[in-house]
Amino acid sequence: MATLCVDGCPSLRKTGFLLFKTSIIFVFLFNPTLTTRLYSEEDPVVILTSATVKQTLVNSSTAWLVQFYSSWCGHCIQYSPTWKALAGDVKGALDAAAERIRELEHQVQKQKISHSPQLQVNRFCASDEDFGQETTPSPNRKLQFIQVHPVLLPFSFRIEDWEHAIRIGVLDCAQENNFDICKEFGIHFYPTFRYFKARGPTFDVGKTYRGADRELQTVRQLMVNFLQNHTRQDWPVSCPPLEPYSSADILPLIGQKSNQYTAVIVENEDSYVGREVILDLMMYQGLTVKRALSSERSLTEKLGINSFPSAYLLHPNGTHAILHVQKRLRFFFSSFLKLLLGVHRKLSTSGAPQEPLLEGPRGPGTAEALKDFEKSKVYMADLESGLHYLLRVELATHQTLEGEELKTFKDFVTVVAKLFPGRQSVVKLLETLLEWLVSLPLEKIPFDAILDLVNNRMRISGMFLSDQLQWVGCQGSRVGLRGYPCSLWTLFHVLTVQAASRPDALANTGLEENPKAVLQTMRKYIVNFFGCQECGKHFEEMAVASLPQVKSVDQAVLWLWRKHNQVNGRLAGTMSEDPHFPKTQWPSPDLCPICHEEQDGIHVWNEDKVLMFLKQHYGAANISPKHMYSSWHEPNQEAVGSPDSMPIKATQVKTVAPESSLLHANHAKQSDVEGAGQAGTGAHRETRPGVSFLGLGFSSVDMSLCVVLYAFSCVFLMVMFFFFRVRSKRWKIRYNRPYV
């Protein structure tokens, strides 16, 4: 295959450097260390080989777009991030790994340096007539690519969005065992793109795409065109209709009740938005997306639509309205529709529809409605529940802490004690724990001792952490979903934002100079203690790859956001996803419209705006005390008059904690004397009930007792005073009376 390419390179033929050619071919074909694979199992593409390609393509239920490439071809190397981005894009994922793109670009750069003769050869190959014009990106174009191309997920996806209509594959013609199959397909140049129709009964070499424009948006639109070229006989089994509907089809649906939503995208004839949204939503149930053309006057007039594209939503209850999105872009429409209540991704790949999950019951095992909450808020109840679970349950499985574990725990307590923007009682507990750990010269600490402090067995007043799990922003639609891992992410996002907005908070801890202090603490915590070992492994891989590049506290905030999105992308559509809270690239457009942009038809994040948003969202002022347990286990309400302060139905979920820790926890509860003084204090440290004196905290109850005692003693002294005064007067009268 390599010979084919080189023979097909007119420029090289002209130069006549046969010796040079042969040596390059020799070097790249027979030096396995230089022939790197461009795609791995972790990329969102299907890797085909001579053994699998025919059986995959023949009679496939989906259409295919396959790139035949050569792993030694410079242009293929340059192009691989775009191809992966395309595959990620049509799988419904968004920018989860701009950093990963940079990593890959970095790798490409490295290869360029070490294999410059190879790139030279392939530049000639790429300019062959089959590709038309120049295909190697110019330096400017490439720079734009790095900034723009958003979708590159380093893990295999289980999101099956366009996949049930058209799939994306790669076949490496530089692999020796693929030589013959590439010859059979008649591949002469790299990369060659071939389309394969669905349900083709016999072997077919496919249809070559010969256009010069290989930008992501162009290829994605070509995929749509290719799908539409199918006939009724070979139409991909699960692909929804892509043709526009007429007014006559849509108008009768208006006002009708149905068991699902219908979204109608009304657009101009040359627009791809409707078809792309239809494909984005094809694996979702509870909703059908249709498209109609702006030329359908009776429809646009009836719906009152005069700018295109627009979307109109017909609700199951018969009501209907225009769909208001901040920007009329594919991504905004798709993500709005995916987040509709009752719309969720089909988890089963068998095609069997799943039970619709509409409002109401929270699924098997739970009969309660979800607590009311706003997704634009962070809840102190989640943070405190997370801390409780972490300290009393997750860590309590360790009998003793020593060595690396003890160091990790000390760092964790340092970071959290200094940065946690919580209630005074919790902060005091963390600070006391920190003081105690720092003052201890021990190299090994039994965890029971730590638990005693966490549970406040010493009855230090004003120090308390609830032992109740109360998930609000992290509540799941059934037990076992969300909860603790959600609160852990939330806690660390809050801590990175605190570290960025309060630069002096870590002063005198030894961590003040380190912008990665929170992330490194989180990394060590996740590796050493987080119950999900696989999660720890993945997180560690991400940290090894890109944490060293974090140089400031702001970058730390963004790093965690990117990695969290990377995890979201990997887990979307898997069993751990709560159908009521689908894993999407966050923040969604409804939370932060200015965070999202589109360039050349591709979604991009505006990272400056994302940073601003993260600082606001995870800032102390956005942490709501709603549903938080007070010491007396009464749910707190927000300030009177706030729209948040609606009556709520609090659910108490007891932790499956070791007996001793629960015992201790109950003990701590009894010793708590803050009472109502704490209720409603919210997330702000400034609201401090009680007084601190000589390093000891006095709660309001302590203070009231003092005042009462003082008053009692005053009254007692006065009574004594008057008593003795009256007596002394009597004595005087008795002893001074003249004898009769």
Are the C-beta atoms of residues 318 and 312 closer than 8 Å to each other?
no
586 binds ligand FAD (CB under 6 A): yes
Contact between residue 261 and residue 286 where contact means Cβ atoms under 8 Å apart: yes
d(CA 217, CA 223): 10
Closest among 28, 5, 7, 16 to 116, alpha carbons compared:
28
Which listed range, 29-37, 544-552, 575-583, 650-658, lies at the site for ligand FAD (CB under 6 A)? Answer: 575-583
Is position 371 an interface residue for ligand FAD (rule: CB under 6 A)? no
Q: Does 242 bind ligand FAD (CB under 6 A)?
A: no
Q: Is position 572 an interface residue for ligand FAD (rule: CB under 6 A)?
A: no
- Establish if 625 lies at the interface with ligand FAD (CB under 6 A): no
Whether 455 contacts 413, CB under 8 Å: no
Q: In the bound complex, what is the minimum distance in angstroms from residue 594's beta carbon to ligand FAD?
A: 16
- Among 80, 51, 78, 47, which residue's Cα sits nearest to residue 172? 47
Question: How many C-beta neighbours within 10 Å does residue 576 have?
Answer: 13
CB of 644 to ligand FAD, least distance (A): 17
- 323 burial via Cβ count (<10 Å: 0-12, 13-18, 19+): middle
Q: Residue 56 or residue 490: which is nearer to ligand FAD going by CB?
A: 490
578 touching ligand FAD, by CB under 6 A: yes
Concerning whether 486 is annotated as a catalytic residue, the answer is: no
Binding of residue 620 to ligand FAD (CB under 6 A) = no
Residue 489 binds ligand FAD (CB under 6 A)? yes
CA 244, CA 228: separation in Å to the nearest integer? 11
Kindly state whether residue 486 participates in binding ligand FAD, applying the rule CB under 6 A: yes
* Nearest-approach distance from CB 543 to ligand FAD, in angstroms: 10
At which residue do the structure tokens 């199918």 appear? 230
Q: At 655, is the secondary structure helix, strand, or coil?
A: coil
Q: Which stretch binds ligand FAD (CB under 6 A): 225-233, 307-315, 357-365, 566-574?
A: 566-574
Contact between 490 and ligand FAD by CB under 6 A: the answer reads yes
576 binds ligand FAD (CB under 6 A): yes
Angle 507-510-514 (CA atoms, 0-180°, nearest 5)?
85
Q: Which is nearer to ligand FAD, 216 or 526 (CB)?
A: 526
Q: What is the rounded distance in angstroms from the CA atom of residue 193 to the CA atom of residue 219?
A: 10
Q: How far is the CB of 215 from ligand FAD (least distance, A)?
A: 27
Choice from 581, 605, 629, 698 touching ligand FAD (CB under 6 A): 581
Which two structure tokens, joined as six digits, stand for 312? 């109109």
Q: Is 357 in the site for ligand FAD (CB under 6 A)?
A: no
Q: Which of 173, 289, 396, 474 binds ligand FAD (CB under 6 A)?
A: 474
Min dist CB 373 to ligand FAD, Å, is: 10
- Minimum CB distance to ligand FAD, residue 150 (Å): 13
1 in helix, strand or coil? coil
Q: Of 677, 724, 727, which Cα lies nearest the Cα of 703? A: 677
Q: How many beta carbons lie within 10 A of that of residue 715, not counting itself?
A: 10
Length of the chain: 740
Characterize the bridge pairing of strands 166-172 and 207-209.
Answer: unpaired
Q: Please identify, using beta-carbon distances, which residue of 591 and 696 lies nearer to ligand FAD.
A: 591
CB of 541 to ligand FAD, least distance (A): 10
* DSSP designation for 368: P
Q: Does 624 bind ligand FAD (CB under 6 A)?
A: no
Pick 291 or 562: Cβ nearer ligand FAD: 562
- From the list 485, 515, 573, 635, which residue makes contact with ligand FAD (rule: CB under 6 A)? 485
The answer to the question of residue 338 lying near ligand FAD (CB under 6 A) is: no
In the complex, least distance from residue 496 CB atom to ligand FAD, rounded to whole angstroms: 10
Tokens (6 digits) for 531: 């119950």
Query: Is position 76 annotated as part of the catalytic site?
Result: yes
Q: At what angle do helices 403-419 and 424-439 cross, to 10 degrees?
A: 140
Interatomic CA distance for residues 617 and 591, integer angstroms: 10
Give me the least distance between CB of 343 and ligand FAD, in Å please. 16
Interface with ligand FAD (CB under 6 A), residue from 122, 262, 424, 568: 568
Which residue is nearest to ligand FAD, using beta carbons? Answer: 535
Strand-strand pairing, 261-267 and 287-293: parallel
Q: How far is the CB of 339 from ligand FAD (least distance, A)?
A: 12
- 561 is a site residue for ligand FAD (CB under 6 A): yes
Closer to ligand FAD at the Cβ: 464 or 539?
539
565 counts as binding ligand FAD under rule CB under 6 A: yes
DSSP result, 105-173: HHHHHHHHHHTHHHHHHHHHHHTSGGG-S--SPPHHHHHHHHHH-----SS-----SGGGTEEEEEEET
Instruction: Give whichever of 278 and 517 is closer to ligand FAD, judged by the CB atom.
Output: 517
Q: Does 115 bind ligand FAD (CB under 6 A)?
A: no
Among residues 104, 488, 517, 592, the one that binds ligand FAD under rule CB under 6 A: 488
Alpha carbons 430 and 188: distance in angstroms, whole number: 67
List 230, 344, 482, 596, residue binding ligand FAD (CB under 6 A) = 482
534 counts as binding ligand FAD under rule CB under 6 A: yes
Phi and psi at 99, nearest 5°, equal: -65, -40
How far from 456 is each of 110, 338, 429, 702, CA to CA, in Å?
A: 56, 46, 8, 17
Write the burial class of residue 621 (CB in 10 Å: 0-12 exposed, 13-18 middle, 19+ buried). Answer: exposed
Candidate list 5, 9, 73, 182, residue with the active-site label: 73
Could you tell me if 518 and 496 are in contact, meaning their C-beta atoms sit under 8 angstroms apart?
yes
If binding means CB under 6 A, how many residues of this protein chain bind ligand FAD? 25
Query: Cβ 603 to ligand FAD, closest distance in Å?
Result: 15
Active-site residue, selected from the candidate residues 5, 9, 76, 125: 76
Contacting ligand FAD (CB under 6 A), which of 493, 516, 524, 580?
A: 493
Beta bridge partners of 311: 265
Q: Residue ranges of the alpha helices (H) in 262-402?
A: 273-280, 297-303, 330-338, 380-389
- Catalytic residue positions, numbered: 73, 76
Q: Which residues bind ligand FAD (CB under 6 A)?
A: 474, 482, 485-486, 488-490, 493, 526, 532, 534-535, 538-539, 561, 564-565, 567-568, 571, 576, 578, 581, 583, 586
